[in-house]
A and B are shown apart, each in its own frame.
Chain A
Amino acid sequence: MDVLTPRTLDEALRLRAETADAWPIQGGTDVMVELNFDRARPRVVLNLNEVAELRGFARENGTLRLGAGLTYTECRRELGETLPALAEAARTVGSPQIQNRGTIGGNLGTASPAGDALPPLLVEEAEVELAGPAGRRTLPLEEFLVGPKQNALAEDELIVAVHVRPSGARQTFMKVGPRNAMVIAVASLALAVDRERGEIRAAYGSAGPVPRLVRAPLDEADGFPDRVAEAASPIDDVRGTAAYRRHALRVLTARALERCAA
């Protein structure tokens, strides 16, 4: 096994393309668990920590560019005003230690149905920027998430950034689990009431193979909790039953609507 530590994005992309099955590692909060328990033994690990281009976020005429290496702690601290649901979700991730290392790009890379950054980004109609030998491409987050722990990233590509045009809509994130810290969501929900566009958008997590977006016109708010619950396709597992998850989504949607109505 070997570790490659590029210093620039160009170098990182070159190494990724040249080195078959090089595993990117950013915060390591998913990758290290695999390594520590010997569930995976990649031939090469591509350490992205020193690539400055992946860090932080920037405003680019009305849109926000969130670097793949943006941590949950940074989301909490810096994005509470512009992307409040994402900042709230970041606060529920793991613990301070996990929030300090875990990143948006890593959450997209893992593409777990329970990934907490995903519902808030779906609700804000985020786009994912990927780069590889053929250049850059951008695709909607909805298309990037293709299945449980499966995404549209090609073997020779890296996730570079997430682009969002903050809607300014009232929005929130909620998560159900046995305690407040350190839980994988049993069910989660991000919701935005977008008066400007006259619609409500919600995205659920942990209630289907991938987090999914559900929309309705503003005047159909009454039936929206049922609509979200019906749109989900949850399963029974160790954390909860499908029936409980549907029920939870109905309750969370009603509460989130209330919270975002005022």
Chain B
Amino acid sequence: MRIELTVNGERHEADVWAGESLLFALRERLGLPGSKNACEQGECGSCSVLLDGTLVCACLVLAAQADGHEVVTVEGLAPEDGPHPVQEAFVQAGAVQCGFCTPGLVVAAADLLARTPDPTDDELREALSGNLCRCTGYAKIFDAVRLAAGAS
């Protein structure tokens, strides 16, 4: 079946299988591999994207449900002239090791700061509770989000 959606500000059409996820459509049909596929069951957050401005796991959205809707992936977060402040802060704070969790965390952190520009530590932990990282132990990731909050 054919779906039509806006991804990172651009109209796209894609031929998808009825049972496939938005994550699969983004990665395999639209050539946007930024959103990562790890668990396919909503547990790890590495596939986090914004669907009509709401943070979701792309693996738990049926591609057909995104028909006529708007998606922003990690590829579309940054403005034209450089990285998004959260991306910049991840680099500055050393919050990236293998990097697999990074796209999802960057999208989730950007979503948090858009709604809560100066989060408390509790708000930060709760907002990122759906994103797993097997490398960093999270301390540097929290540093990065605090840095981005301070910078904006």
Contact = CB atoms under 8 A, between A and B. Distances in A.
Interface of A: 1-3, 5, 25, 27-29, 31-33, 35-37, 41, 45, 47, 49, 94-98, 100-101, 180-182
18 contacts: A3-B18, A5-B64, A25-B65, A29-B60, A32-B21, A35-B21, A37-B40, A41-B19, A45-B19, A45-B62, A45-B64, A95-B45, A96-B55, A97-B48, A98-B60, A101-B54, A101-B56, A101-B61
B71 to A, nearest CB: 14
Contact of A36 (B55, B59, B65, B127): B59
A75 B55 CA distance: 16
B1 interface: yes
A36 B39 CA distance: 10
B92 interface: no
B129 A33 contact: no
Interface in B22-63: 40-43, 45, 48, 54-57, 59-62
Given A29-B42, A35-B19, A101 B60 contact: yes
A25 B19 CA distance: 11
A180 B127 CA distance: 12
A5 B21 CA distance: 16
Given A32-B21, A36-B41, A37-B40, A47 B59 contact: no
Given A28-B61, A36-B59, A96-B55, 12 more contacts: A2-B1, A3-B64, A28-B60, A28-B62, A29-B42, A33-B60, A97-B42, A97-B48, A97-B130, A98-B57, A98-B60, A181-B130
Question: How large, as a class, is the contact surface on chain B?
Answer: 20 to 34
B4 interface: no
A58 B45 CA distance: 32
Given A29-B42, A32-B21, A33-B41, A95 B59 contact: no
Contacts of B62: 3, 25, 28, 31-32, 35, 45, 47
Nearest to B129: A181
A30 to B, nearest CB: 9
B42 A94 contact: yes
B18 A2 contact: yes
A188 B43 CA distance: 21
B53 to A, nearest CB: 10
B65 A49 contact: yes
A183 to B, nearest CB: 10
Nearest to B37: A36
Nearest to B131: A95
A27 B54 CA distance: 12
A3, A29, A31: most-surrounded residue (chain B CB, <10 A)? A3
Contacts of B131: 95
Contacts of A182: 43, 129-130
A141 B53 CA distance: 33
Contacts of B19: 1, 35, 41, 45
A4 B71 CA distance: 21
A122 to B, nearest CB: 26
A32 B126 CA distance: 24
